[in-house]
Chains A and B, each alone.
Chain A
Amino acid sequence: MSILSKLGETLVCLKAGRVTLPYPAEAKPLPEKFRGRPIFDATKCIGCAGCANNCPAREILVYDVCQEIRILKYLGRHCAYCGRCADVCPEKAITMSQEFENGTNQIGDIQQRLELFMSTCQRCGRCFKEPSVLEQLKMKGYRFDDLENERWIFRSQATLKGEPAVDDLKIELD
């Protein structure tokens, strides 16, 4: 309670210096393994839906709109940035970026939607990715479907009808 203790306090305060980070001017460097928003690379993605199966928040939706086009949708609403999708991706198409400044007034802004061109399975009629490069050419516009006559068949315009299997698909995000 003496004046000496006050002087001591002042010394301690002066020794500590300034601690406030100059955030808006310059950002503090992020730690190396910081996981921010996942970024999906459509050119590498093969549409295997491994990320959708491994997502604990069930945030990645994969569904087919017709026999050739598969849609992969990342909603980003309740993503926990755990990075499991990036771990499990066989083509390394998902990278955990260092973007964290995602404040927005519309929740749909963090959405990512990939439209992937796929081949059609002869047996079940669902989409799959051709394994070889030569076969992947078939996905660019036409496919070798009619095996009896060995003819190219042009891509269909038909869309699959029916209720989506996941309830979240009904959420309309602007």
Chain B
Amino acid sequence: MLKNLCQKMFGRSLWVYHANSGGCNGCDIEVLNALTPYYDVERFGIKLVGSPRHADVMLCQGPAMRSTAQALKRAYDAMPAPKLVFAIGSCACGGGLWFDSYSVIGPVEKIIPVSYYIPGCPPRPEAIIYGVAVALGLVDKKTAPVAFKELELPIPQYHPGDLRGEGELVVYEKAEKV
């Protein structure tokens, strides 16, 4: 549903607003690097705007801090209705290294709903462009959760329940497999 909405609403271009709520400026520099002629995101119609009222997409960097959470919430509310929020960097995705510090509330999704995550500390400009491309439906996401489970016992298991017979004539049923 979100994808269809994206394709309908953001068919032509995304105007991004760049919000830092207490990060270390690492992700800021990478986002600005993605906007320079070297990566030239205006090819894809992505443009930086100075006010959240003009923006379709909010690029969040930095964790939600106690001092900036209200301002972040206000900036989110000021955006017009079909809006997306990108959490860029480890701080915005999960709170960063200092996620349990007294002044950090946590990831930005505790304050505003986040639609796309771009982890990295900081993410490369290519990673940011890739994340925006995933949101636009141009490429598929590469990541998937990995779960490793121990296989069902690689060698056959001796079990007393499979013993048949009595006395000296006890036979183990699955003897060939052992």
Report the separation of the CA atoms of residues A78 and B94 in the bound assembly, to the nearest whole angstrom: 5
Is A24 in the interface zone, CB < 8 Å from B?
A: yes
A104-B153 in contact (CB<8A)? no
Is A121 in the interface zone, CB < 8 Å from B?
A: no
Measured CB to CB, the nearest residue on chain B to A59 is B94
B145-A113 in contact (CB<8A)? yes
Other-chain residue from A69, A76, A80 in contact with B150 (beta carbon distance below 8 A)? A69
Q: How many A-B residue pairs have CB under 8 A?
A: 140
14 A–B contacts from the bound complex (CB under 8 Å): A20-B38, A56-B97, A80-B96, A99-B142, A100-B120, A103-B128, A105-B115, A107-B117, A111-B146, A112-B146, A113-B146, A142-B157, A154-B157, A154-B159
B142-A102 in contact (CB<8A)? yes
User: Using Cβ atoms and an 8 Å threshold, which residues of chain B touch A81?
Assistant: 120-121
A103-B117 in contact (CB<8A)? yes
Is B22 in the interface zone, CB < 8 Å from A?
A: no
Report the separation of the CA atoms of residues A116 and B148 in the bound assembly, to the nearest whole angstrom: 8
B153-A141 in contact (CB<8A)? yes
User: Using Cβ atoms and an 8 Å threshold, which residues of chain A touch B120?
Assistant: 81, 100, 102
- On chain B, the number of residues with a Cβ less than 8 Å from chain A's Cβ atoms is 51
Measured CB to CB, the nearest residue on chain B to A112 is B146
In the complex, what's the smallest C-beta–C-beta distance from A126 to chain B, in angstroms? 18
Most buried by B among A19, A56, A102, A140: A102
Report the separation of the CA atoms of residues A108 and B143 in the bound assembly, to the nearest whole angstrom: 10
User: Using Cβ atoms and an 8 Å threshold, which residues of chain A touch B133?
Assistant: 24, 103
Q: Report which B residues bind A (CB closer than 8 A).
A: 2, 37-40, 43, 90-91, 93-97, 99, 107, 115-121, 123-124, 126-135, 138, 141-150, 153-155, 157-159
A109-B126 in contact (CB<8A)? no
Measured CB to CB, the nearest residue on chain B to A113 is B147
B158-A109 in contact (CB<8A)? no
Other-chain residue from A80, A110, A140, A154 in contact with B143 (beta carbon distance below 8 A)? A110
- List the 6 closest pairs (A to B, CB-CB), nearest first: A103-B131, A77-B94, A78-B94, A42-B148, A80-B121, A141-B153
Could you list 14 further interchain pairs (A-B, Cβ under 8 angstroms) beyond the known A75-B94, A104-B141? Answer: A23-B129, A37-B143, A56-B97, A78-B90, A78-B94, A78-B107, A80-B90, A102-B127, A103-B117, A103-B131, A105-B134, A105-B141, A112-B146, A115-B147
